[in-house]
């Protein structure tokens, strides 16, 4: 099996009807973070949305700071941070703080966002998402030098500002571009950023070709990609434990993605509530079955880092923790 780094992802979602309080869910999720570091995972990844009925993590930097305080070794990444909803100077300050607290372990995957509800809620026109994000990336890099600077852009203008503390990471925390469409993926190479892939083999191929066309060595860039992974006594047991959570998640993503694409046909979007497809594309089963499936994935998909998603929305954290422990003991050593 090709060796890769392995991360663990959390989104702190608590669907309507859950008997678990957010306080208890957060406590269980942070316990999983600490367990993941002890088990040998390389990274923890956080993902973001806003104005959802399940409290989908809306506060990436506070969550990253809490994880930084609870860990000593794992890197802490965003998969992805929705840049149009942040003021770049405030983001630069918050990210620098987390990078200092963590001793240089912060990694920022940056995306454009797509849900109309979020753009409406923050009062940001969706048509501005690319321009705001590109200006934000430029401002972050300049702010993190620790020197005074001015900026005169289309969306942001300020004079003689200085952001401290300066990050521990030099020249700055790693930046990754989160995208799924080919045109946007190629922009990652143009921006000299790693790739937070929200697709799979085809999308990574587009990124690698873009790096090659730009004369850049792919060995210098991170390519991170996620999979739902659940270890149980059998594939049937794993599916029984995860089915409702997977369908809940897919129904929401299907709705969001199809709305963003301007279609009511969810068959056209990447994630949709198709039980057979979800069962087939998720990595479920015994430790040996999961390891075999991941070997196939890694041999066909040239990522540098696999992100494991186990704590699905609505899944009992005790079951997620049991799967995490089994993955860490029986599968993880085969990947690293």
183-226 pLDDT, tens per residue?
999 999 999 999 999 889 999 999 999 999 999 999 999 999 99
User: Which run of H or E residues covers position 189?
Assistant: helix 182-190
Beta strand ranges found along 257-331 (DSSP E):
283-285, 305-309
- Can you read off the two tokens belonging to residue 205? 């191929």
Question: In 143-154, which positions are buried (b, 16+ CB within 10 angstroms) versus exposed (e)?
Answer: bbeeeeeebeee
| Distance of alpha carbon 28 from alpha carbon 314, whole angstroms | 13
pLDDT of residue 254: 87
pLDDT of residue 319: 98
pLDDT of residue 316: 98
CA 243 to mean position of chain CA atoms:
22
Q: Please say whether the beta carbons of 227 and 254 come within 8 A.
A: no
pLDDT of residue 1: 67
User: Which run of H or E residues covers position 176?
Assistant: strand 174-179
Q: Please say whether the beta carbons of 244 and 313 come within 8 A.
A: no
CB < 8 Å & 24+ apart, contacts of 27-31: 28/317, 28/318, 28/321, 29/311, 29/317, 30/66, 30/67, 30/70, 31/321
As a whole number of Å, the end-to-end CA separation of the chain is: 9
pLDDT of residue 109: 98
CATH architecture for residues 5-225+302-319: Alpha-Beta Barrel (3.20)
pLDDT of residue 266: 72
CB atoms within 10 A of CB 248: 19
- Can you read off the two tokens belonging to residue 20? 């678990």
Question: In 41-53, which positions are buried (b, 16+ CB within 10 angstroms) versus exposed (e)?
Answer: bbbbbbbbbbebe
Helix 60-70, helix 22-39: angle, nearest 10: 50
| Distance of alpha carbon 206 from alpha carbon 116, whole angstroms | 27
Q: Please say whether the beta carbons of 306 and 334 come within 8 A.
A: no
Nearest alpha carbon to residue 46 among 185, 161, 196: 196
CA angle 166, 170, 43 (to 5 degrees): 100
| Distance of alpha carbon 53 from alpha carbon 320, whole angstroms | 21
pLDDT of residue 331: 97
Is omega for the bond preceding 171 within 30 degrees of 0, making it cis? yes
pLDDT of residue 141: 98
Show the low-confidence residues of the chain (pLDDT under 70): 1, 264-265, 267-269
pLDDT of residue 258: 87
CA angle 46, 311, 133 (to 5 degrees): 20
């Amino acid at each position: 099996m090709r060796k890769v780094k392995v991360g663990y992802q959390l989104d702190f979602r608590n669907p309507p009807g859950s008997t678990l309080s957010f306080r208890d869910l957060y406590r269980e999720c942070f316990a999983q973070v600490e367990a993941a570091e002890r088990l040998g995972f390389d990274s923890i990844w956080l993902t973001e949305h806003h104005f959802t009925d399940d409290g989908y993590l809306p506060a990436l930097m506070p969550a990253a700071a809490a994880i930084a305080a609870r860990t000593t070794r794992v890197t802490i990444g965003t998969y992805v941070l929705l840049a149009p909803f942040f003021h770049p100077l405030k983001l630069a300050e918050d990210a620098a703080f987390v990078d200092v607290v963590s001793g240089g372990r912060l990694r920022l995957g940056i995306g454009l966002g797509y849900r109309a509800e979020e753009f409406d809620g923050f009062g940001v026109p969706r048509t501005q998402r690319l321009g705001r994000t590109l200006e934000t990336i430029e401002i972050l890099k300049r702010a993190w030098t620790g020197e005074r600077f001015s900026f005169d852009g289309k969306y942001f203008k300020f004079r003689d500002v200085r952001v401290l503390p300066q990050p521990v990471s030099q020249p700055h925390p790693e930046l990754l571009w989160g995208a799924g469409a080919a045109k946007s993926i190629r922009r990652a190479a143009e921006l000299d950023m790693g790739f937070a892939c929200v697709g799979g083999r085809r999308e990574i191929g587009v990124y690698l070709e873009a790096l090659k066309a730009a004369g850049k060595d792919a060995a210098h860039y991170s390519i991170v990609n996620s999979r739902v992974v659940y270890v149980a006594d059998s594939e049937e047991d794993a599916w029984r434990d995860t089915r409702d959570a997977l369908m809940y998640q897919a129904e929401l993503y299907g709705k969001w993605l199809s709305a963003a694409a301007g279609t009511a046909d969810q068959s056209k979007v990447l994630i949709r509530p198709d039980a057979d497809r979800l069962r087939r594309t998720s990595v479920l089963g015994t430790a040996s079955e999961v390891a075999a499936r991941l070997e196939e994935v890694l041999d066909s998909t040239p990522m540098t880092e696999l992100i494991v998603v186990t704590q699905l929305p609505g899944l009992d954290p005790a079951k997620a923790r049991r799967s995490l422990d089994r993955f860490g003991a029986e599968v993880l050593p085969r990947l690293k």
